[in-house]
Structure 1
Amino acid sequence: MKLKKLPFLFLISSTILFAQETEPELSQEDLIKEFGEKSCKCIDEIITFNKNKEEIRESIQYCIDKDVTAYQMTSKLMEATKTKGDSEISIGMDKESDEYKKYYYQIESFLMENCDTARDLIQSNVGEESKESENPQALEFYYEGTKLSKEGKLEEAIKFYKKAVKEDPNFAWAYDNMGICYRRLNKLDEAEKAYKKSIKIDPTGKMPLQNLAVVYIHKKKFKKAVKAYEKLKKVDSSNPEVYYGIGSVYYSGLNDNENALRNMCKAYKLYIAENSPYRSDAEKMINVIYGAMKINNNEAKFFEILKENNINME
């Protein structure tokens, strides 16, 4: 769809110009922040009860989608006021178009850096197959711990998670969340123990397997981190977090750019397939790896690996 600068649009432009004479000029960063915060507020209101991860992801996507067109329009009008002469303002409405995705990804990137709710929903164990405890008292302690954790009261949350596993020693989720709290407090040994207890209860637990790898990364035990991710891959080979994690470890910890790139390409494609906001992180990492391989005069291998994965780099 193309919108010409007819009187209606000109009126909008004139209003913006008038505002610029009396107020500081609005920057692109301010604009992204304005619409990003609107999307974050929408995500805050998402009801997760009885929703699986796919349904939650779709709800997050809806919150971003509803602001993309307005953000795109405002951004282009702002640019139009800086140029002289008549021009056309083209608005990309097709969600599969590069134009639309550009503005979608800008809001999405803001959310991943600034919206705690968005990150927490994507990383949570909501919708996982593991069952909650059937012990009412353990559940009461668990939910109190979750509430305190969201409030940032991590030490107090841990106390309630401990009460939960005392009531139900097989309550894996309580150990999972306990591990998260310990990790945020940088008590890595305690976090490792909590995740291992959860894995002992449920060897196929995706959340503790992934978070154990993260703990090993923080402890600079990079080979153990890769092994932990490899165990997770056996449980869930289509999980992009596995390949993103392995790629990051190979790049940052083991100085192996080629294996880093191979895994990051797999992560990127899987993120794209499931429309995950983390695709932008994988894309950034691919560009970082490109820079490293370019310095080492290994560009040819870089493009060879991209070709193997059917990825084109513009």
Structure 2
Amino acid sequence: MKTLFLSIFFTSITAASFSQETSASDKEIKFDNKKFLKELSENACQCIDSISTDNKTADIISSEINGCIDKEVGAYQMGTKIASIGNLENAKEGEDGKKSVDITINVNPNSKEYKQFYYEIENYLMSNCKSIKSKIATNDVVGEKSFSNNSEAIKYYNLGIDESEKENYEKAIEYYKKAVVFDSNFAFAYDNIGICYRKLNRYDDAIKAYENSLKIDPNGLTPLQNIAIAYIYKKDYKKAVKSYEKLAKLDSKNPEVYYGIGNIYAQYLFDYEKALENLCQAYNIYVDQKSPYRTDAETLINIVYQGLKKEGKEKVFNQILEKYNISQN
């Protein structure tokens, strides 16, 4: 086990989340755990916001997000352990009269203790950091025909990006369509047309845009993944599953494939066993990739558990978890 052994002198603590109160009998450290978690998580969020997603797959982006969270885990362990000590009656007193206590910080990412602190920060970020989900959702790996060398096409594409960021999706579509007039093989422009139509709940138009992108680049990750989502919104669940299965043939380590299929079986088709088989695969890949979407898989697995419990199949639930080496907390 990798650990750091630290001797902390309480007279030197200056962190904003700590305060000291002195009485006649002892000196007690007051600690605001929620505030401390918020401060460290906001540091991680700023780090995540600075990550570039250009021509990166989701697993690479997840690894960089993991690095941002990892930077804060040691500090979170230290602060929490200092706070758990309470008053200083049992602390060691040195020759200079200062009291200190020995604290062990676990830096082994595979240890249960490290994961506990890591997941607390990760869970906070998933609820409060806008950047984390937008970064991890990026799949824009540049292929031969993904982008354009035509200056006019790029000009209108960038204008479309500006309008998309403002959520002016109708105007954005106008610009993206102008981009493909100048370059009919501009796959990313079609991808963004599809995304905008999906935001406007125009799912048939979104599907057409994704299909145009796939004609240009049959292996495009963004259209393959998003066309499945559009089919879910249309309640055409069989086509959605087939789209995910097609994506799986190209990218078998993409957790979104198994999460997407699991989500369909869990929430729409109510086939909980098939749902759990896929969600367990998604969960394990998320964990391997250090993806924060692990928490979404956990939420769905809990929903599946309730469904199987109602069917009297708790034993089946445990057997499937055991098959994928997933332990229940």
The alpha-carbon distance between structure 1 residues 132 and 101, as it changes in their structure 2 partners (threshold 3 A), is same
How far did 1:17 drift? Answer: 4.2
**How does 1:65-104 map onto structure 2 within 5 Å?**
65-81=70-86, 86=90, 89-104=103-118
> Residue 287 in 1 paired to residue 302 in 2?
yes
Aligned residues: 308
**TM-score normalised to the size of structure 1?**
0.86
Larger radius of gyration: 2
Quick one: distance in 2 between partners of 1:11 and 1:144?
A: 48
**How does 1:243-282 map onto structure 2 within 5 Å?**
243-282=258-297
**How does 1:53-132 map onto structure 2 within 5 Å?**
53-81=58-86, 86=90, 89-129=103-143, 131-132=146-147
The alpha-carbon distance between structure 1 residues 165 and 70, as it changes in their structure 2 partners (threshold 3 A), is same
How far did 1:85 drift? Answer: 6.2
Quick one: distance in 2 between partners of 1:14 and 1:304?
A: 44
Match of 1:180 in 2: 195
User: 72-81 or 108-117, which moves further after superposition?
Assistant: 72-81
Quick one: distance in 1 between partners of 2:68 and 2:262?
A: 30
Q: Output the amino acid matched with 1:110.
A: Y
The alpha-carbon distance between structure 1 residues 149 and 113, as it changes in their structure 2 partners (threshold 3 A), is farther
User: 237-246 or 201-210, which moves further after superposition?
Assistant: 201-210
Q: Would the aligned equivalents of 1:53 and 1:126 in 2 still touch at CA under 8 Å?
A: no
Match of 1:226 in 2: 241
**TM-score normalised to the size of structure 2?**
0.82
Q: Would the aligned equivalents of 2:63 and 2:291 in 1 still touch at CA under 8 Å?
A: no
How far did 1:27 drift? Answer: 5.5
Quick one: distance in 1 between partners of 2:216 and 2:53?
A: 26
Q: Deviations over 1:207-260 (max 9, x none)?
A: 111111111212222222111111111222221110010001000010100000
Quick one: distance in 2 between partners of 1:148 and 1:13?
A: 40
Q: Would the aligned equivalents of 1:262 and 1:305 in 2 still touch at CA under 8 Å?
A: yes
Unaligned 5+ residue runs, structure 2? 23-29, 92-101
Q: Deviations over 1:116-170 (max 9, x none)?
A: 3222222123434353112221122222322332333333322221111121122
Match of 2:251 in 1: 236
Q: Output the amino acid matched with 1:143.
A: N
> Residue 168 in 1 paired to residue 183 in 2?
yes
Match of 2:148 in 1: 133
> Residue 16 of structure 1 is aligned with which of 11, 15, 19?
19
Query: Which secondary structure does the structure 2 equivalent of 1:147 belong to?
Result: helix
Match of 1:22 in 2: none
Paired-residue identity, %: 45
Quick one: distance in 1 between partners of 2:237 and 2:140?
A: 28
* Bigger proportion of residues as helix: 1
Unaligned 5+ residue runs, structure 1? 20-24
Q: Would the aligned equivalents of 2:140 and 2:221 in 1 still touch at CA under 8 Å?
A: no
